[in-house]
Each structure stands twice: as C-alpha cells, then as structure tokens.
Amino acid sequence: MNGVREEALPVVESLDHLAALLRKAGRGEELCVRWSRGPDADLSSGREADQSSKDALTGIDLPGLSANPLAVEPWWGDRPLRLWVARRLYDYCHLRELRGPGVRPWVLVGEQIGRGPDNEPLVRCHRPVAWVSERALQEADRAVEAQPSSEWGPLHRAD
C-alpha cells in the first residue's frame, strides 16, 4: 500500500470532480468509496494483509475493507455519470450518523477480495486517492432526491 497520509489527500469538491476522477482512472484501477474515519485509521498497520472491517451483527473481522465500487456497470448505458456517482455516495450516507464523529467518505484504489455478509464488496486498498467533500455529498443528495422515485433511499436497515 502506498504510504500517502490522509492529510495530504486531495479533496473531491463536487460530483463533477468525482465523475472526472472516475473517467481518468487508469486501466485496472478499481476506484471505490469507503465510509470510515479515513485511511490513517483503516490502514494503520501499513500492511495490506491487515486491512479489515468488522461485521456489525457478529463482531467478526472481515478480510478486507467494506467499500462501494465506483466502476460503472455496462447496463447503465449512456446515462449521466454524475448521477451514477451520486447514487454511489448516497447509498451509504447513513453511516456518517450510525458510526459517529469523524466518519466520512474517501476514495481509494483497491481490489475486490471477497464479499461481506450483506453482500458488500470487501476490498484491499492499494492507494488512498481523495476525501469527498460535504459539498459533493450535498450535490449527491439533491441529484438522487430529484429522481422521480418514491421507493428508493439509502441502504439503511433501521429505516
């Protein structure tokens, strides 16, 4: 894992900025978004083999970091990339409140190594890329809420 310190990470200031980052991702680079206290907390050992998340139900350590891939699926077609990334951020926005102070989204380059008990991807982080700003999160909220669906919302069990 690249030893980039989180205070040196750039900040994704908008959905357009995140979409551009996704467009520019190198071949074979899987960009993901993770909601946590950040790379310093998640990658403190510096060893990829030590990266783990914890299953909230059982407390079991999972073999990788729970993260949401940003890669666009082929079925998305030519729909707006901006809406795609908005949805990827919005899906887990509830984690900010659920997991407490300091939890926020950050983008990483990683590789999927398994799936967790909620079928979430578990990834090994190869390189932290950027923090996601509050402004980008607000734009994601507005973009999703502007869609004509009354049956859709964040992936939160308690609602």
Rounded CA gap, 45 and 138, in Å?
33
> Does the structure show a pLDDT above 70 at 113?
yes
| Average pLDDT for 68-84 | 94
Q: Is 14 within a domain?
A: yes
Rounded CA gap, 68 and 124, in Å?
12
Q: Is 98 within a domain?
A: yes
Domain count of the fold of the chain: 1
Rounded CA gap, 78 and 108, in Å?
25
pLDDT at 115: 94
Q: What are phi and psi of 41, to 5 degrees?
A: -75, -40
pLDDT at 157: 46
Q: Is 153 within a domain?
A: no
pLDDT at 19: 95
| Average pLDDT for 123-139 | 95
pLDDT at 158: 56
Domain of 34, in residue numbers: 6-145
pLDDT at 139: 95
The string of pLDDT tens digits covering residues 7-36 is 689 999 999 999 999 999 877 789 999 999
The string of pLDDT tens digits covering residues 33-70 is 999 999 998 887 555 657 888 887 898 989 999 999 99
Q: What is the DSSP string of 85-154?
A: HHHHHHTTTTHHHHH-TT-EEEEEEEEEEEE-TTS-EEEEEEEEEEEE-HHHHHHHHHHHHTSS-SS---
pLDDT at 1: 45
Residue 118 pLDDT level (bands cut at 50, 70, 90)? confident
Q: Is 159 within a domain?
A: no
Rg (CA), the chain: 15
Q: Is 11 within a domain?
A: yes
